[in-house]
A and B are shown apart, each in its own frame.
Chain A
């Protein structure tokens, strides 16, 4: 990440300037994910702050808040965290083993940032769940999750597909599909207690 630039004149803003720069970089990448174009920004200046923020947000929203159903409930915070990071590392290793020419951290960065649509879906689902439960409620949530799932896949393949030779592209994209499918499933089956 960016080093802190010491400016001897004003010690008050010396630590906030690189922080603002990093936050701006993260925000710019969020925009790139929401409007996926063929650009290299996500790949060139990779960082893992965005994926960390998104993963923590998602895990906090997904964890079950009641202690009574220990075995039968939804995922714990640690389980979501492990699935996201372990899944991203596995997909990256898979992509590299198949002969892709993307670096390890670039791939982690892309996969992590493309969780953004699904995090937005989780927020919307939590808001929708505040209303009455019922089939309409479920249909709305299903529609939102499906749309965001498709958005995540499109955004990540826009960045990742070019790094593979064409005869192996499907082999590299399928695990990404599985990864976001599992996350979407966790979001869809979330029931507040």
Chain B
């Protein structure tokens, strides 16, 4: 429980004092904007918010101070705590995605786009989309390969969905955790800029994975050098965004630590991209990547399986 408090109240020590005084209260700052609590069927402890109203009045000046910091953190056991991480509009999400696609040297993703209001919608659904797109395009590659060479055995390979999901989510959550832990450990060396919160790090990583989605779709084109080119481009964009975001935090540290950290981040990202390519797109045997005219010459000297004319017909 203490670690969750550290994560949530990293910058808001007053909020911890507030909750320490009223441990049963589920304080919400913008209750008029939130949906009526009566509709919340999943809430844990949402009933506590009704009992806290007189205490909220007493601490209204403290609440006003916290309002200036634009977020009042309710307890992590309440539904509205998690609702604060989904407080984004469609235009904001699209803006953040655009910011991750086009990294610029001066613009720190966290300060410029997130503006210290990280959301969990982007990372979660980008990871989900990437996992499913990986599985679907990997399957499609197998289908297209089988049309060119019927000797490849086609199967839906549904277990790849599970593998894709687990690996993407582990990457997008465990690597930011390690990075955040490492940056906090080195906090003493820095004077000027504090480290990012855990959620901001998760946000940065989540949005940086967005560029892999079009890359994976473009990997359907079965030309290997083009696939590696797309992979390198996407990896470059994504890793550049990460480096530009991390550079202001890391540059006050010793040179060695900075270089090691940044190269570790880029290396892990590259490992993810290469791992995806090799695991989900490995179905093409090297000799079948040759252009079609060489394959159509095969039927003359090999006994045809019955499906061959039908699969050759559309090409």
Contacts and interface: CB of A to CB of B under 8 A. Distances in A.
A129 to B, nearest CB: 14
A149 to B, nearest CB: 13
Interface residues of B, number: 40
Contacts of B36: 101
A143 interface: no
A87 to B, nearest CB: 9
Contacts of B83: 96-97, 99
Interface in B6-63: 33-36, 39-42
Nearest to A172: B90
Given A104-B42, A178-B128, A185-B136, A167 B86 contact: no
A189 interface: yes
Nearest to A105: B41
B155 interface: yes
A73 B158 contact: yes
Contact of A167 (B42, B85, B90, B139): B90
B296 interface: no
A79 interface: yes
Of B83, B93, B153, B155, most A-chain CB atoms within 10 Å = B155
Contacts of A97: 82-83, 85-86, 121
B281 to A, nearest CB: 16
Nearest to B90: A170
Interface in B108-163: 121, 124-125, 128-129, 132, 136, 139, 153-159, 162
B286 interface: no
B89 A133 contact: no
A72 B155 contact: yes
B310 interface: yes
Contacts of B106: none
Contacts, number: 91
B314 interface: yes
A90 B297 CA distance: 51
A79 B41 contact: no
Interface string A60-80: 000000000101111110010
Contacts of A171: 88-90, 93, 121
Interface in A96-111: 96-105
B3 interface: no
B191 to A, nearest CB: 37
Contact of A74 (B40, B136, B156, B311): B156
B121 A94 contact: yes
Given A93-B42, A170-B90, A174-B125, A191 B154 contact: yes
B73 to A, nearest CB: 16
B314 to A, nearest CB: 5
B34 A99 contact: yes
B35 A167 contact: no
Nearest to A132: B310
A85 to B, nearest CB: 15
A182 B132 contact: yes
Interface of B: 33-36, 39-42, 79, 82-83, 85-91, 93, 121, 124-125, 128-129, 132, 136, 139, 153-159, 162, 307, 310-311, 313-314
Given A74-B156, A135-B310, A135-B313, 5 more contacts: A73-B158, A96-B79, A168-B90, A169-B90, A181-B132
9 contacts: A72-B156, A94-B125, A96-B35, A134-B307, A167-B89, A178-B128, A181-B132, A190-B156, A191-B154
